[in-house]
Every structure is written in structure tokens, then in C-alpha cells.
A and B are shown apart, each in its own frame.
Chain A
């Protein structure tokens, strides 16, 4: 090769290298997205904009759950280090932490990421923050970010409202929406309506520098979205009645559930003892939670929905109604009070239905149920029981017993209405007859209900044969009440039969010797029925009632654990609740004082 021609080889090498470079640039700049995505990860950061969480109001617009301004303190270890560290003692002091706690938070932040901020102190209320805001600059790496603190200023209805708190590992694993430090509803309405209350997050895209500080909006802010605030939820609760109920139930264990019969709207749900919601939302949650959890009266236990009791005498009214409906008795049918079969009390001997309810006659209802279960149709008492119990259970369930009442309370326990299969399992197929199971005829035995089931029963009686699914939601945002909240359930029993029972209930309250005379409310016809639930630690005092008799505005159940007979304690409490709701005030001072001073079952360490 002529030496002069070697310029082609050398020039060729130059061109070849340029072509290789251009090929590489085509791959890097035009074709592959790998490095572009890496660049975006390095230079862009999205900031989640939390929407304001929806408030909760009562039926009159009074605020139950509110948001309060607060601040979290975030800390970036690397920034602190490059700036030469900080005075831990002074920092701990303004944050109101011990130096040891602060050191632990520093270590945790370091372990998470030294160049990213993490929260070292949560939920500083606005008034505390105002005092320390001016000091914060002295501590490099620290910054304050606004957040809202959920608060229940009245401290009422804590069981119903539920908990709103920081997500844990499980939440983050099950839903990618949640990031460390996010909050969510964990129980009660806060959980059930979490999405509606939460609203929609906004996103702001930032360009960050090598230290991960926000420097400029990314994409000129075109991809940014504003947060959509959560929807306010109006409840059917009457906060005044709720507050009154919680007040008179102080120092007692038990529950009150009050329902507006015509609509199924729950007016009050008192579970005693109660606690202040805010105990479980703030920084002290951990220790508060432990002491509440370990308290002997189980304040965290929502008795209105989850405590199951045997219905006792109150159940006799249902027995009477379905017996009338099936024609096994007429209102005038009299049955001999045979105390050899089953014990009874009082001085009656041959009651009709109305009297039997007033006297709570056990043999009467033993006989009534016997006629339904052991009707002799098959000529075998075992087969009779086996054939007839199913239909009987169905009739009981039509009153809401043993059902979820339409399903608007996820925490609700359905209770138990025993069925053929249940007894088959317990005793063996056709190994049981009415004589085996007769205790359910007077509301004992395997029957179990909750306070809300019993309040709903009061509503069924008030409505003369139907109920609307009990619910607490009045409005969600401006969408109004969800349609399914108006669902109506019918017992299928002729309303005419109810009049007999209701007359009896009026008698219970108004009769001179009526067991429920303490339930009287001056100026109103109260219908009620006492119950005394057998319990080894002292019987539970139970009362259900509705008023006024002819235009019922309120139906309720009252449970006071270990307090004795239904007429002594539950009935006067029902009276006070009815008076408070219908009159707005309570004139029966004596009655009120007697209840307020009572502590059941025994004095305990205060909450």
C-alpha cells in the first residue's frame, strides 16, 4: 500500500469511532428509556398533597369529628451532618422529648435513608409549634411540615367513630396507596367510610437537586393535581342525647341504643364505660391503648354492637306475637300458671296474653311455644320439634334477631337464634324434643342478642310490625343518604296483633304494680318491657321501650350489667333518655340524681 493511501485507513478509524459514538447516542438518547427513567428518578420527586379529611357532624349539624392544625418534625441526617451536627439536648427540649427518645429517632431516620427526611416527632399541636417555630433554624436538617390532627372535641361516641391512626406494615403491604407516615381509619366509621372521608390526594411534581431539596416544579406543573377534600359525613346521632346517655351511664357497665322507629336512624349509641377518642389518636396512643385494653371494665369493647346477652323476658312479646299470628292463641286465651313445669313469680294464676306479658308469666309462654313446636302433627315429640323449629326460627329472625340488621354495622355481632341444625349438632338428629329446648321459650337458653337488636325490637313494636334497617349515616357529602339505608324489613305479622302486646307494654309502665313503672315520663305514654338476664355475677338489668305510644319518636334498649332487675335501673334510664329526647330537658331530678349516683357493679379504678 502506498503510504499516501494510509490516510484512508486513519480517516476511516476516525469515522468508525464517530459512527460508534453516534450509535451509542441513538441507543442512549433516542431508543432506550432505562437511563432516562434513572435520570427522572434522580431529579424528580413527587409530593403527595393530603386532602382535608371530611368532618363528622350529628343530625343537627353539631361537629363530632374535626381537624386541627398540627405539625410533624422531619429530619434529614445528611443535611445535619454537613452543617456540623446539632445540640441534641436543646432539640429534645423544644420537642418535649427525652434525649434518649430523640437519639432513637435519629438512629431510625439514619437507618431509613440518610439523604431523605423522615419524621422524628409527630403531631405537634399548633399552639406548641408556634412557640418553637422560631427556634427550629438552629437545628440543621430539621423541618416542620403541616399536617392535620384528627380530633373529637366532645369525646363522645368514641366506639362508633373508631380510630384514625398511622398505617402499619400490614396496611402498606396490602395497599400500595399507603406510604410510611400516612394515616387511615382503623376501626369504626373512620374505617368504614375511610375512602369518602379521605377524598383524593393531590400530587405535585418537583425537580430536586443532588441533596433531594425541592428546586423547581417539574413539567411546568402540568401534571400536578390538587387534592379533592374528603366528604363530610352527617350522622343520624343526636349529640345532645348521646352526651346525656354517656353521662348517665358513667360508672356503670352497659349500653343504650336509641332509634327513631319510622326511619331506622340511630339517635344514640352509648357503650359504657367509654373513653375519649383523642386518647387514641395522639402521640400517647401506645400507653393509653394499653391501659384501656387492660382495664377490667373493657372500655374499648363496643357493647352496643358486640356484647351478646340472652334476651330474657322481653323475648316473650315476640313469642306472643307469632303465636297470635299463627292462631295457636287468641288475645283472650288464658293459660294456667303451672309452676310445676317452670318457675314463675307474682300472684297470678290464669292470665291472658296481655296479663302474661305484664306479669312476665313463664308457664304461659312455655305453653305458647309448646303449641307451636310440639303440635302433635307427627305423633312423635322428636319429629314434631324437628319439623317445627325451623319455621319458628324464621319468624324470630323476621324481628331482626340473629341477623345483621341490614348490614350497616360491620362490627355487629348477629347474635343467635337456634335452629334445627344447631340442636342436631348439640344433641344429635331427633335426639331432642321441646322438653329439651324449652328454656328458649322465655328468652333464655341458646338465644343471644345485642343491645342494638333489642332497640330494633322496640322499633318493630313501635312500628307495629316492621323496621327500617338501623343506620347512622344521614348524608355523605352532598350525596344525601345512600338508598340502601332506607331498606324496610317486615315481620309479616298482622299489625292488629301488635295492639294487644302494646297495650301490655303500656300496662308494664303505667300499672301501679307494673315492673316498668320507673320508666314513666310525665306527659308521654311510654310503652316498655323489663328484662332481667340471669348472670352469675349479678343479673343484668334490661329495658326496652318506645314513646309516645301512638306516634313513636324514639325506641330504645337499655342494658346495665350486674345491676339487678330491669325495672330498678334500666327502666329509669330509659325514662330519662326519652324525656331528654322528647322534651329537650329533664325535669325528673330525683330520678336523674339516683341514676347519676349509682355505680355498678362496684367502685372501680377510674379510667
Chain B
């Protein structure tokens, strides 16, 4: 059988597949190969790959959970920030209002003081004006009397000072 199916120098006669003399050899080495592959796979490769896949799945699950948690934290932080912002705004508004009131008070006081000063100044000024006016009137009377005396003297009349003064006073009143 062997010599018939495998001629010299490895040339095939017919189908080498049907050469039964090589079957034990093939089957033996096949079994060896399968056993080796089976042990390498079941002892090393498959547990390792399975562990890697499981680990990855776990990592992904954990990461997603962590991400969810962080997201919640971010939302909480945002809310806290909003709250802080709102309370800060209220506080600021309060401070602004207080400052405004303070300023208003100061302003009012200053205005009142200024008003009083102005009033005092005005009164004083009025008094001075009155004095000046009175002074002016007296001066005018005197000047008018003197002028009248001089005029009368110039015109050749011997004027009685008393008469002239009476006349001038009468004219000034008039």
C-alpha cells in the first residue's frame, strides 16, 4: 500500500488522502497537537483573555458609575454656586441700599447745614445792606444840606443854616 501510493521521491500516485499507511502518523500527531492546543488554551490563553475581558467590563462599569457620581457632584456644585451667587447678590443689594441711605443722611445733614449758613449769611448781608442804606441816606442828607448851603451862599443869600436844613429835610422826605 505504502509503496503503491507514495511512489519514489514523494510523488503522489492517486490520492494521498486515501493512503491508509500514513493515517496512524497523521492521527497520532493530530492528537498530540490537539492536546497541546487544548492545554495551552484551557490553562493559559482562555483564562487570561477571559480575565482581561471581565476586568475591562468591571473597569468600564466602575468608570461609568464614577462618571455618574461626578455628574451628580457637578450638578450639586453648580447648585451651590448658584445659591452662593444669589445670596451674594442679595447681600450686595443690601450693602448698596445701606450705603445709599448713609450717603443720603450725610447729604441731608450737609444740605441742612449749608442752608443754615446761607440763611445766616443772607441775614447778615441784609443787615449790612440796611446799615449801608441808612448810612447812605444820612450821607445824602448831609451832602444835600451842605450843597444847599453852598448854593445859597453862592447865590448871594445869607442862609440861615437851620432853615436850609429844614428845607432840605422837607425836600428829601417829599
Is B truly associated with A? no
